[in-house]
Chains A and B, each alone.
Chain A
Amino acid sequence: GAGVSQSPRYKVTKRGQDVALRCDPISGHVSLYWYRQALGQGPEFLTYFNYEAQQDKSGLPNDRFSAERPEGSISTLTIQRTEQRDSAMYRCASSLALLGTGFMNTEAFFGQGTRLTVV
């Protein structure tokens, strides 16, 4: 696709239900990032992957949150037993990593986000 695609765009779920948020990065992008953003706040880092390897999951708030990227492309962020405080915009971004004489991150592209509302 032309850009980073996230689905669904909007999700309303009942408290206690599990939800799965999908991120389809730009083809060939090595790095994939997940963020949560509350209204009026900056993006809060959750986790990220290089290829299929989860490099850092220190931003995941608790063990109800998990993420995977099994084939190094599409990623899924799963929230189990959702709570009202999980309501937020969830954003995904991807970027290339150029390996030549060194390592350089290129610009990251963000998807439109998934607006999660837990009722």
Chain B
Amino acid sequence: DAKTTQPNSMESNEEEPVHLPCNHSTISGTDYIHWYRQLPSQGPEYVIHGLTSNVNNRMASLAIAEDRKSSTLILHRATLRDAAVYYCILRGTYNNNDMRFGAGTRLTVKP
């Protein structure tokens, strides 16, 4: 049973913002929302994570809905190097901190 739901694919133009949505309607109060991405022929890499408040780092921003049932990863200016599969994952706490990947969203960036 999928814990998160993401669109299969999205397209963006280079240097434009990209908003990648994720639905997680069954999220529990202690689940953190993590985002990872996987570039072609590489292993997954961490992008950002949060619990309740919006988060910013050098790579992206994470906007979390007030009810926490959805979140959006925001790439402020997409570059060709951002073309990857983006995964939204829920991670629990203590001994429920498994990390399961779904199908993710394949982002294509057009020059």
Contacts and interface: CB of A to CB of B under 8 A. Distances in A.
B46 A45 contact: no
Interface stretch (B9-17, B18-26, B68-76, B88-96): B88-96
Interface in B42-76: 43-46, 49
A107 B45 CA distance: 9
Contact of A105 (B32, B101, B102): B32
A108 interface: yes
A104 B30 CA distance: 9
A50 interface: yes
Contact of B43 (A44, A50, A105, A110): A110
Contacts of A113: 43
Interface string B70-111: 000000000000000101000101110111111110000000
A49 to B, nearest CB: 10
Given A43-B101, A48-B99, A105-B93, 17 more contacts: A42-B101, A45-B101, A50-B97, A55-B97, A55-B98, A91-B44, A102-B93, A103-B93, A103-B94, A104-B93, A105-B49, A105-B91, A105-B97, A107-B46, A107-B49, A108-B36, A112-B43
A109 B46 contact: yes
A55 B49 contact: no
Category for how many chain A residues contact B:
20 to 34
Contacts of A18: none
A113 B100 CA distance: 17
Nearest to A4: B43
A42 B99 contact: no
Q: Which 8 A-B pairs have the closest CB atoms?
A: A107-B46, A110-B43, A103-B93, A42-B101, A45-B100, A43-B101, A105-B91, A56-B98
